[in-house]
Amino acid sequence: MNRHAQGILLITLSAVAFSSAGFFTRLIHLDVWTMLFWRGFFAGLMILCVILLQERGNSWRVIRGIGRSGVVAALCSTAATILYINAFRRTSVADVAVIFAAAPFVTAGLGWLCLGLREAWSTLAASLVALLGVGIMVGGAISDGHLLGDVLAFGMTVCMAIMMLIIREQHATPMLPAACLSALLCPLLVWPLASPTEVAAGDLLDLLLFGTTQFGLGLVLLTIGGQMIAATENALINTLEAPLAIAWVWITFGETPSVTSFAGGIVVMAAVAAHVWYSNRVQLDSAVA
């Protein structure tokens, strides 16, 4: 498997991990700040353990090597995390899904304006089809009166776009420590608003799983895979989160998706699958030539 294919696989798996956010926020009945505190704490510890096992004696040197770009990426990721969870509490899941579906275009626009990057027509075409699919999914479900939540969701999308551009462009920078910093900054920032000591044992176990399987694992896969493929392609594959999030709730809580949700999800997955097939074919043709 070539580097590009590995990157696509890792980003796809990160989208699967991140898509369970709706499941965990439905499962855990705590205030958003306490949830963010423990989610970030457990994710940060998990990523730190991965770094220590991977780097061993070089861990401190690698951590110190993130540089300014790594710190900026971590700050963007932390901001995106806080905005993301708060957006779910202030607007509909449909609104958040539609706004985040614009991530490939936001990423491509910022990459062109700030870095002079030009994306392949196939990536932009697939991004447009994916956006259409998410639009079908939510249909007329987008409600009025959720301006603050929508603004938070758009802010999250911009932060994620900047983070993906930094990860892609800074090949020499060790980004896994930046992901760890991102996770640990979250509890530090929300601590004054959270109530971390007032959590029951059952909720703490759920938060442990939330932090490690959804946030920590998702960040690790996104960080490693994001250095192997284009930032806009990264954002495109992450649109898989929308249909997968619906699938999680359908399987675990028995909430049957509507016809439009089902149809839109198929369009999103077909757009991503077609892009993956086409881009891998181009990579193989280039290798043969």
Determine the Cα–Cα distance for residues 80 and 33; give it in Å rounded to an integer: 14
Mean of pLDDT values over 183-199: 94
pLDDT for position 82: 93
pLDDT of residue 255: 66
Instruction: List the structure tokens of 52.
Output: 């220590």
Q: What is the DSSP string of 118-172?
A: ---HHHHHHHHHHHHHHHHHHGGGPPSS-HHHHHHHHHHHHHHHHHHHHHHH-TT
If one compares 283 and 65, the residue with the highest pLDDT of the two is: 65
Cβ–Cβ < 8 Å for 219, 185: no
Mean pLDDT of 174-178: 86
pTM, entire model: 0.80
Residue 33 pLDDT greater than 60, yes or no: yes
Which value, in Å, is the radius of gyration of the alpha carbons in the chain?
18
State the Cα–Cα distance between residues 224 and 168, nearest whole angstrom. 10
The mean pLDDT value for 54-80 works out to 88
Compute the average pLDDT of residues 180-204: 93
Over range 148-154, report the average pLDDT: 82
Provide CB contacts within 8 A for 169, sequence distance 6+. Answer: 69, 115, 231
217 or 133, higher pLDDT: 217
pLDDT digits (tens, 9 = 90+) for 222-259: 989 988 888 878 888 888 887 787 778 778 877 666 67
Domain boundaries, the chain: 3-288
